Amino acid sequence: MTHYEANRILDRVREGQQFSAFVILRALELTGDYERNGSQGMDQTVSVKASDTGAGQRQSLVGGNP
C-alpha cells in the first residue's frame, strides 16, 4: 500500500465504508497517525454510520504517549 492509497482508504473509512482493522491500522501507520510504541494525531472525533439501523454513532480516536 502506498501513502496515497493509505490516505484514500482512510478517507473512505470516514465516509462510512468498511475495512478490516488490519487494513485501517496499516493505513494509519503509513500516514504517520499511528505508531506501535506510542501515537500522536489521533484525537479527532470520527462519525460512523451503523449500516443495519441507519443510526449514526460517534467514536473518538484517542492517542497519546505513555
The answer to whether 32 and 41 have CB atoms below 8 angstroms apart is: yes
Q: What is the pLDDT of residue 33?
A: 83
Which of 24, 64, 25, 62 lies closest to 43, judged by CA? 62
Q: What is the pLDDT of residue 60?
A: 47
Mean of pLDDT over the chain: 73
Question: 49 — phi, psi (to 5°)?
Answer: -95, 125
Q: Quote the CA–CA distance of 44 and 26 in Å, as a whole number.
A: 18
Provide the 8-state DSSP code for 32: T
Confidence band for 66, pLDDT divided at 50, 70 and 90: very low
Q: pTM surpassing 0.85?
A: no
Domains in the chain: boundaries: 3-60
Q: For residue 39, give the 3-state DSSP assignment.
A: coil
